Amino acid sequence: MNTDQNLLTLKNCIGTTASYPLHSRTHTLKTFGDSQTSCFVKREDELGFGISGFKIRKYSSLIPHLLANKIKEAILIGGAYSNNIVGLTQLLIENSIQPTLFLHGDTQTKKIGNFLLTSLMVPNDSIHWVSRDEWPNVQEIAALYAKKRSKQTMIIPEGASVAESLPGALTLALDIVNNEVQLGKAFDHIFIDSGTGMMACATILAFAWLKKTTNFHVVLMAEEEREFLETLSDLKTQFESLIGAQMKWPFVKEKLKLYRPHVGRAFGSTNKTIFDEIRRIARTEGFLTDPVYSVKLFLESRRIITNEKIKGNCLIIHSGGGLTLMGFQDQLSQGV
C-alpha cells in the first residue's frame, strides 16, 4: 500500500468527528534554532479558550460516542485542577449528559484556577472526593458508584484516554501533514509533551502508518518511559483495529526519544525558572504557556536542540492549557 492509500485509509478510519475546531496553524519561532535549524510552533492553544489544545481533538470522537450510546451520566476521574475535567464538563452539559466527578483531594481544596471554573458548572453533590490513600483504587470506587445508577453511565479516566478518543486523537497527525503542505516543507523533528500518552502515541502511530521518517522527541510529564511504551503498545493494537491492518512496530529506535523535564521534573512541580520562561516566551514570541505542560516542553526542546545539535525543520507542538495559568497568579505577578 502506498502512502496516498495509507493517508486515505487513515482519514476513513477516523470517520466523522464532531464539528469542533481541529485545524491549528504553525509559525516560525524567533528565539529557537539557528542558521541550520528552523523551529516552528503548532498553535493547538488557539483551538479554543475554555477547551483548547489536545483535549478538543479527543472529545471530537468521544462526545459522538456518548451520544450514539445514549449515555446520560459521565463519571470523570481526575485532579481538581485538571484541564480535562473543566473542558469535558462543558461539552457534557451542552449535550445534556450529567457530569459526575471523582476528584483527587478533599472538600478543603482551594477554589482557584481550573477548579474554580469547574465549581461554577458542577454542584457540590456531584463531586466525590477521593483521598491520596484511596486514589490507587479510584477506578473501582467509581465503578461501584456506576453500578448503583439507574442511568446509562460511562466512566472516563484521567485525560479522557479511552479507545473512543483515539479517532479524534489521530486528527493531530493529519493536521500536521496539512501544515507541511501549507509550508511547503516537511518536519524533520517533532517535539510533543505527554501526560497520559494518548496524543503523542496516536501521532507516532499515524506517522508510522503514513511511512514518514520524522524523529519524535517526547517529554514525559507524568509517566515513566516503561509506562509510555506500554501505552504505545496498547494503542498500536487499537490503531490496527481501526485501520483494519497490521503494521510493523511503529518506530525505529533512533526515531523516538523519550525525556523527562530537567526543570520541574516531578509532575505539577514549578519553580522560578519555569515562571521566568513563561514570561520570556510571552514577551519574545507573543504567546502564553502553562507551568505544568507546555512551558516545560519549550524549555526541554531548546535544551535538546542545543545539546544534541539537531538540524533541519523542528516542530514544537503547543498543547494548550492556558486556563491553568489562573491558578498561579501570585507566582506570575512576581517580577512583572
Instruction: Say if 3-51+165-333 and 72-151 have the same CATH topology.
Output: yes
The domain locations on the chain are 3-51+165-333, 72-151
pLDDT of residue 253: 67
What sections of the chain are H helices per DSSP? 3-14, 54-68, 83-94, 113-121, 138-147, 166-169, 171-183, 198-209, 225-243, 272-284, 294-307, 329-333
- pLDDT tens digits, one per residue of 19-78: 999 999 999 999 998 889 999 999 999 999 889 889 999 999 999 999 999 999 999 999
pLDDT of residue 336: 53
pTM: 0.94
Nearest C-alpha neighbor of 294 from the set 23, 61, 55: 55
Low-confidence stretches of the chain (pLDDT < 70) are: 1, 250-253, 335-336
Q: Which helix (H) or strand (E) element contains residue 185?
A: none
Cα distances (Å, whole numbers) of residue 75 to 122, 128, 213, 217, 242: 12, 10, 39, 33, 25
What sections of 159-224 are H helices per DSSP? 166-169, 171-183, 198-209
Which one is the CATH code of 3-51+165-333: 3.40.50.150, 3.10.180.10, 3.40.50.1100, 3.40.1710.10?
A: 3.40.50.1100
Decide yes or no: CATH 3.40.50.1100 for domain 72-151.
yes
